[in-house]
Structure 1
Amino acid sequence: MATSRRPEKPSALLENPIPSSSPAFGTPVHPINPRKTAPIRAPPALKPAPKPTVLPILLPPATLRPLAFRTFTKKHNLTLTSSALQSLASFIGRQCGSGWREEGLAEKVLEEVAKSWKKCSGHVIVEGDGDMLKGILKTLEGSMVGGRIAPASGLSRQTSFNFASGTDGQDTGALGSRPPLDSNTSFGMSGLEVEDKEEEEEFLKDPREWMKVVGAFDQPKLIYNVTQKHFDKSTTKPSLFPAPSHKTDLFRQRYHVVHQRILRNETFQAPTFSAARSATLNRTGSVSTSQTNTITPIANLLGRSGSTHLLLGMLVVSPTGTLALSDLTGTIALDLQHARPIPENGAYFAPGMIVLVDGSYEEDYGNPASGSNSTLGGIGGIGGTIGGKFIGFSVGQPPAERRTTTLGGGSEESDKNSLQGPAFGWTDFLGLGSERATGTKMTRLASKLLQPTSTYNIVMASDLHLDIPSTLSALRTLLRTYTPAPSDPHPVYPLAIVLMGNFSSKASLAGVPGAGSIEYKEHFDSLAGVLADFPQLVAHTSLIFVPGDNDAWPSAFSGGAAVPLPRKEVPSMFTNRIRRAVVEANREVWGAGKAKGKEGEVIWTTNPSRLSWFGVKGELAILRDDVLTRLHRTSIRFSEPEQDDEEGMPDATAVLTEESQEAMDVDPPNRPPVNAAEQEQLDSDTQSARALTRTLLSQSHLSPFPLSVRPLHWDFAHALNLYPLPTALVVADTDAPAFVVKYCGCTVMNPGPIDESGGRGRREGRARWVEFDVGKGVGIVRSEE
């Protein structure tokens, strides 16, 4: 019996496992041969992104010391040796480069090293000679990219720097065993983020941790570069015995600062488009048809007799005794017989000030230009006195510039209304960081620590004559006012108490009977006894002392006359008892344990000096000087204005009048600002306060006088600059009334004598001072019995 054989399947069916799409309808099993495709190639490997390069620098250990001290000692209670500081400075200079300060790279490196040291060692002293610090830096070096610590490098707080022996008893050397990549301690919510925030909040509970006093001799000296239009740090070290050329540079820099500030003012900027188009592009929403002003150099007046010009220069007294105006190109005699100040009774005009003068030039052909050098050391044009005279129509102060315009950091509304951005946002004027580099961080910290419902006051008192018993009684009244009751559950203490001289009513150490060195020290011992009666207040605040002209040492040879500014602090040999009183108060209040906040401290600073909080967030300029008396003695007296002066007023004069009507708030803060019509109805004290405020802020200088009127140390005159404008300014003037005035965003205050019985008003048994709220930016004059 024959058996049928089943036909074999084609070889294609054996090779191709794909079945027929429709075998029931008689379609062939494989009508089309399968297409052979080329194998898929793997994509080429992506080239790794080039690592950002860092240009190494040579960082001196002394420059890094303040930041290292704040990180290691203040925050982590560690002590750095000189060898450890040298190692950290070399490492940061090599790895972080020039951005170690501006970009905050060094602070993060120091923070990482400090926490790693505490994890790996229990020693309080950080030594640089051992293997521990070298191992930490070696491990950290492999985790840095472009000067920053790479977040994905596995540097968590719990596991990154484990230099102890492993669990199996073997020494791991540099890095311990890292956790797997999917663990929560490597990425995301690791100790690198959580623990930082917790420790930062624990450390920053006291706003006084972010307050710093900058002395006049510690401020960096910046020189304005006219070509590149920015500030450069001086390469020469300031000296008390500088070269004669530095005297000319002093006034030259003052002129450059005011001149560049005016050129960036909208009134002095030439329009780019036509008048109609520029009116439509006005961001403020108002149509402006005023003519653009142009400042004419004095040397360009030659050959333009009878024409009207607007000049910017310094008021000087010529050798013949006449008033003249000088700029970088030359000098011209002034005729202010028919001129009027802008505004009336609103500012002072004295020799040494840089002012705007609008008028007409009259050339004197019979008196050619002389060859005498100008006051500013003219560098262009004629460079000497120009023949003829300039008949002035009006004289005005240069318009001031707000701090937000100079540095930025203002509100969004002010940024939208401004045609340009901040002029010097990256410039570090006080050595505390620039607005662009640290402004955002400091604003966040300030909003976290300065609660809107609380008060954070800085108390300021002046003329603390310790040799007069009534002054010590007034000081007790001040200290008693800010000492909370024992039953208060939430006591509030001032951030700082600024006490300004003169600390003696007589010139000490000048041979005056009863004002020798022994008596001078006994006066401060009496002050220490008063402070010892208020231990709670002393242990919770910062005491800041600013000297006056009657204090040691300058009064020993000046006899109480004006001494060159800036001047150093009171010598420590007279103030040891006060330092011990503060130490005893801290020991009594805080005990041997760690303080919950910053302990009380005493700071003896220079005159003038700066008090900053949260870096560039706020700045308080402090000056003890009789400025108003000097202005009354040297200012120019103008003739009474005529009734028809307003009708024929030139365009430049109209601009000066418009610029001068800046709203000015006077204490109390809720008082509405007054206009020009109400200016005449104000009392003399208010007019003096407003005029003093407008003069100093417009001049951007604390002493706009010639050196013969107010001597200055040439190389340290930059410490008296008010550019950018500070948040607040304290001018302790004995003869000026006590006031609080706010102009262009700067609060200007004068506390007057602390003892009202010896000052204006003659009110017995009352103490007077000024307090400034840092959070709200409001100052007020207080008087208590």
Structure 2
Amino acid sequence: MSKAVLPDKPRAAPIFKAPATPAPLNPIPSSSPAFATPAHPIRPFNPAAIPQKASILPILLPPATLRPLAFRTFTKKHSLTLTSSALQVLATFIGRHCGTEWREEGLAEKVLEEVAKSWKNRNGGVIVQGEDSGLKDILKNLEGSMSGGRIVASRELSRQNSLVLGSSQNGEVSHTRLGFRPGGLSGLGREDSQLSLGLSSLDVEEDEDDEGLKDSRKWLKVIDAFEQPRLVYNAGKKHFDRDTSKPSLLPQPAHKTQVFRNRYNLIHQRLLRNESFQTPTFETLKASLKRSSSTLATTQQSYKLTPIANLLGRNGSSHMLLGLLTIAPTGTLAINDLTGSIALDLTHAKAIPEDGAWFAPGMIVLVDGTYEEENSNMGSGLGGSGGIGGTIGGKFIGFFVGGPPCERRQLTLGLGGKNGEGDVTAGGGFGWVDFLGVGSERAVGSKMRKIEQRLIRNPHGEETEGGRGRMVVIGEVNLDQPRTLQALKKLLGLYAAEPEEDTPMTFILMGNFVKHAVMARGGSGGSIEYKEYFDALALTLSEYPTLLQSATFIFVPGDNDGWASSFSAGAATALPRKGVPEMFTSRIKRAFATANAEADKGKGKKSDGEAIWTSNPSRLSLFGPTHEIVLFRDSMTGRLRRTAIKFASSKPETEENGEGDIEMPEPTLEPEQSMDIDSEVREAESQVPEPETAAAEAVSSDLHVARKLVKTVLDQGYLSPFGMSVRPVLWDYTSALQVYPLPTAMVLADTEAPAFCVTYEGCHVMNPGSVVAPGRRGVARWVEYDVRGKVGKVREVMF
């Protein structure tokens, strides 16, 4: 039996090597010294004791024949993904070493099982590449441990892999053997379920001596919009592809069309996954067999989308369209999809839900209505237009307009269990896609939840206030307003008074950091004045060294911040936009360095509080893909009110006198209904509203605006659902504006909307408003987000 070939190691000097001995033809060793006869006595020769190598007839095994067995072993059992090149390598190896008995004797299954275990032990990742040197090393080791197509040294092979995992430096065990590295989660490995290898005892939860694993802030990562992976949905393959082209701020004109195409394909596949757009085959079959009218009435109704090009020649028929609302060159409203464009008539349309969302040009909407051809071209149906690929003649009369329904995060990722906290299921979903570059849900999700359970969540399930699992979100920090710094001092003083171990892990400060675009005002100081405002903020932060030593401060710019405001003068800038340049923030970073140096001297341990200046928008990743928080600063409510479509059916009936488009109720009502109307009229005859009633109505109105805003953004799955002339975007970076899958939480800092905390389809959306509450003297306002409960609350304090 030949020896197992170990991985490459440092070679010894030639003098220490044993002389190479060729394998003798006769198994009985020679007694001649010329043939290196051993000095020890020769034991009696027993031919039966020598293992006879079984004869193998090598074959050419096609990869397609091996694919079902490899899929069952790698994907179903070990949650690994085989590439075509890796499958080819494995098929060649098994055909050569297992021969004709690879299927009947189960030899191939044992080889695939050993390769999968070794790959996971080596931290190979989710995808097994055939060009990877790790797979070649595994097969090389395995080749030396096989005899007659069978693995005879699996224990020794597993022990070699364990030694590779346990490699250390300076006598300390490296935590990378587990696939964990705080702050850099891209190298995370997969969970090993093989207890026979002893990896269950090598859990990160038991490494109590590592300070980096005790602080939950070590698992927090800020992802800049310009560093986020650029993913494009491939409609043909039905999965996401990574855009490998080099992005540019001045791309080709074709990239502008690609922006709409990507948005449409993403929403279209999301709709097709919705139950309302799936044909209930089983129910329809059961209904046709029973021939029962009651069964037909209860059968689930399914909707079907019609491409705009398919409307040609179908005058008077009803359809449902999915397309982009635009303003045609003639000034009329139109709807576009990938096949064509058609004029849209919404005179009699009704929003679904009524007054529940905004619909503006630039949004992708669902329209249910009837197609009507032009009178002059009733026969052809072309209407004198370009037909497919161009503008379709006639118009589409819409009766109902609604946004594409949203999809929960656990459905997108294919998660099971309660609240989507289980493992990835075998059904659909994109759990294997790494959307943020921190590891996919399928690769590291279960591991990250275990770490989160130990570091943040209370193991006893008790609801407690405070703790490290908090994020403080402060909006509209106008440093050129003196009252802003006063509010910040009061706010930071509250958290500085808490014990250091209960300090919030993150403070998020949202722009605009100046009320006016001072960098665009020629005679008012410009960039020098802008830097002085941040110097004043540095002095304020220096008064709370404990916060600077134990928390991460994240700064998100607005439209009035540099450098973008120097040429936009405070108007809407292109998204995404980069953070504030370092030349303005050097004094703040110096304050953090001073606070950390004092902590190192006084406590003898290293502190690493830091300030991060990120882009707008940006994302926070906490414990890998477990928590994704979107940070976005934009005054979106006012822009929606200015550009949204106003439906005639949304007018209240009290404004009509019976002569308008809305018909008044007929007097033939039931007694109970007439009583309800009388009671409502009687309640409306109050003369002066009570203060409590007025306050309740104000709260109800604010909540309605918040829900309307949240539903509009999340249903669109896009942070800038406007035309590019209203809110420009950088064409090559629009993947950072996609809100798919839904994040765990989202900070939508909008000063034109009331401060709120609303949960919609499992996504918790927060708006901190302005740190100085408008219309209220001496009130500071912010939002405190609890990571454990995934819920935030608006807090206020007098200053």
Does TM-score exceed 0.5, indicating one fold? yes
Residues 602 and 309 (structure 1 numbering): CA distance in 2 closer, same or farther, change over 3 Å?
Answer: same
Counterparts of 1:646 and 1:432 in 2: how far apart (Å)?
58
Q: Deviations over 1:148-174 (max 9, x none)?
A: 99641285599977999xxxxxxxxxx
Q: Distance in 2 between matches of 1:772 and 1:288?
A: 44
Equivalent residue letter for 1:745: G
User: Given the alignment, which residue of 743, 752, 765 partners 1:726?
Assistant: 743
Which ranges in structure 1 are unaligned for 5 or more consecutive residues?
1-38, 58-94, 111-137, 165-186, 281-286, 374-380, 648-678
Q: Give the alignment of 1:262-301 within 5 angstroms.
A: 262-275=271-284, 277=286, 289-301=299-311
Contact preservation (8 Å) 2:452, 2:623: yes
Where does 1:144-159 land on structure 2 (aligned, <5 Å)?
151-153=158-160, 155=162
- Give the whole-Å Cα distance in 1 for the aligned partners of 2:140 and 2:519: 57
Give the structure 1 partner of residue 453 of structure 2: 447
Q: Unmatched 5+ residue regions in structure 2?
A: 1-46, 57-68, 75-80, 86-118, 146-150, 172-194, 290-296, 654-661, 666-695
Q: In the alignment, is residue 257 of structure 1 matched against residue 266 of structure 2?
A: yes
Residue identity opposite 1:771 in structure 2 = E
Correspondence for 1:378: none
CA offset digits 1:201-251 (Å, max 9, x no partner):
633111111110000000111111111111111121111111000000001
Give 1:622 deviation, angstroms. Answer: 0.7
**Cα shift at 1:191:** 11
Determine the structure 2 residue equivalent to 1:770.
Answer: 783
Contact 1:586–1:600 (CA<8 Å) still a contact in 2? yes
Note the 1:468-507 alignment, pairs <5 A.
Answer: 468-485=481-498, 488=499, 491-507=501-517
Task: Deviation per CA, 1:713-748: give whole Å up to 9, x if none.
Answer: 000111110011111111111111101110000011
2: distance between equivalents of 1:695 and 1:779?
Answer: 20
> Structure 1 residues 335, 516: closer, same or farther in 2, change over 3 A?
same
Contact 1:143–1:149 (CA under 8 A) maintained in structure 2 = no
1:523 aligns with 2:533: yes
CA distance in 1, matches of 2:222, 2:420: 29
Larger radius of gyration between Structure 1 and Structure 2? 1
Residue 755 of structure 2 contacts residue 768 of structure 2 at CA under 8 Å; is this kept in 1? yes
Name the structure 2 match of 1:33: none
Residue 315 of structure 1 aligns to a residue whose secondary structure is: strand
Q: Distance in 2 between matches of 1:730 and 1:461?
A: 10
Q: Does 1:548 align with 2:562?
A: no
Shift of 1:710: 0.2
The alignment status of 1:694 with 2:701, answered yes or no, reads: no
* Cα 1:363/1:540, change in 2 over 3 Å: same
Task: Establish whether residue 611 from structure 1 lines up as the match of residue 620 from structure 2.
Answer: yes
Cα distance, 1:612–1:325 mapped onto 2, change above 3 Å? same
Q: Structure 1 residues 307, 613: closer, same or farther in 2, change over 3 A?
A: same
Residue among 640, 654, 664 paired with 1:631: 640
Q: State the one-letter code of the partner of 1:398.
A: P
- Give 1:683 shift: 3.1
Aligned match for 1:510, one of 513, 516, 520: 520
Partner secondary structure for residue 376 of structure 2: coil
The Cα of 1:608 is off from its aligned counterpart by 0.4
**Distance in structure 2 (CA, Å) of the matches to 1:603 and 1:625:** 20
How do residues 236-385 of structure 1 correspond to structure 2 at under 5 angstroms?
236-275=245-284, 277=286, 289-366=299-376, 369=382, 382-385=388-391
C-alpha change, 1:98 and 1:278, in structure 2 (3 Å) is farther
1:656-675 residue pairs with structure 2 within 5 A? none
Residue 468 (structure 1) shift: 1.1
RMSD: 4.3
| Within-5 A mapping of 1:104-253 | 151-153=158-160, 155=162, 193=201, 198-199=206-207, 202=210, 203-253=212-262
Return the offset for 1:273: 2.0
**Aligned position for 1:434:** 440
Structure 1 residues 142 and 343: alpha-carbon distance in aligned structure 2, compared to 1, 3 A threshold: same
Are the structure 2 counterparts of residues 371 and 223 from structure 1 closer, same or farther at C-alpha, using a change threshold of 3 Å? farther
| Aligned positions, number | 606
More helix by share: 2
Q: Is the counterpart of residue 558 in structure 1 residue 537 in structure 2?
A: no
Task: Work out the percentage of aligned pairs sharing the same amino acid.
Answer: 49
Distance in 1, Cα, partners of 2:544 & 2:265? 49
Matching of residue 460 in structure 1 with residue 473 in structure 2:
yes
Aligned to 1:572: 582
Indicate if the aligned counterparts of 2:376 and 2:383 stay in contact, CA closer than 8 A: no
Distance of 1:103 and 1:743 partners within structure 2: 34
Task: Report the CA distance shift for 1:450/1:149 in structure 2 as closer, same or farther (over 3 A).
Answer: farther
1:355-379 alpha-carbon deviations (Å, 9 max, x no partner): 0101111111425747878xxxxxx
- Match of residue 125 from structure 1: none
2:753 maps to 736
Distance change >3 Å, CA 201–CA 295, structure 1 → 2: farther
Deviation at 1:409, TM superposition (A): 3.1
Any idea what SS the aligned residue of 2:512 has? coil
After superposition, give the CA deviation of every residue in 1:6-65 in whole Å (9 maximum; x if it has no partner): xxxxxxxxxxxxxxxxxxxxxxxxxxxxxxxxx9999976799999999999xxxxxxxx
* CA positional deviation for 1:451: 2.4
Alpha-carbon contact 2:312-2:382 (below 8 Å) kept: no
Greater CA drift, 586-595 or 225-234: 586-595
1:426 maps to a residue whose letter is W
The answer (yes or no) to whether the contact 1:508–1:552 under 8 Å persists in 2 is no
**Pairwise CA distance, 1:640:** 2.8
CA contact (8 A) 2:321 2:368 kept: yes
Asked if structure 1 preserves the Cα contact closer than 8 Å seen for 2:517 and 2:570, the reply is yes
Equivalent pair of 1:463/1:502 in contact (CA under 8 Å) = yes
TM-score w.r.t. the length of structure 2 is 0.69
> In the alignment, residue 430 of structure 2 is paired with which amino acid?
F
Deviation (angstroms), 1:198:
4.0
Asked if 1 retains the 8 angstrom alpha-carbon contact of 2:232 and 2:735, the reply is no
**Would the aligned equivalents of 2:121 and 2:162 in 1 still touch at CA under 8 Å?**
no
Per the alignment, do residues 157 and 526 of structure 1 end up closer, same or farther by CA in structure 2, a change over 3 Å counting?
same
Letter in 1 for 2:238: K
Instruction: Output aligned runs, 1:71-82, within 5 Å.
Output: none
Distance 1:155 1:640 in 2: 70
Which secondary structure state, in structure 2, belongs to the residue aligned with residue 603 of structure 1?
A: strand
User: Aligned residue for 2:405?
Assistant: 399
8 Å CA contact retained: 1:460, 1:499: yes
Shifted more, 418-427 versus 530-539: the winner is 418-427
Question: Does the C-alpha gap of structure 1 residues 372 and 41 become closer, same or farther in structure 2, counting only changes over 3 Å?
Answer: farther
- Relative distance call for 1:300 and 1:645 in structure 2 (3 A) is farther
Q: 1:47 to 1:635 in 2, by over 3 A?
A: farther
Q: Residue in 2 aligned with 1:717?
A: 734
User: For 1:274 and 1:592, how far apart are their aligned partners in 2?
Assistant: 72
Give SS of 2:300's match: coil
Specify whether residues 190 and 304 from structure 1 end up closer, same or farther in structure 2 by C-alpha distance, changes over 3 A only.
Answer: closer
Matches of 2:480 and 2:142 in 1, distance apart?
62
Residue 337 and residue 162 in structure 1: after superposition, are their counterparts in 2 closer, same or farther (change >3 A)? closer
Post-superposition CA distance 1:459-480 (Å, at most 9, x none) = 1111111111100011112211
Q: In 2, distance between residues paired with 1:326 and 1:54? A: 40
- Name the aligned partner's letter for residue 392 of structure 1: G
1:390 maps to which of 393, 396, 399: 396
Shift in CA distance, 162/290, structure 1 to aligned 2, threshold 3 Å = closer
Question: Is the Cα contact below 8 Å between 2:513 and 2:558 reproduced in 1?
Answer: yes
1:780: Cα distance to partner?
A: 0.6
Pick from 409, 417, 425: which aligns with 1:411?
A: 417
Q: 1:323 to 1:56 in 2, by over 3 A?
A: closer
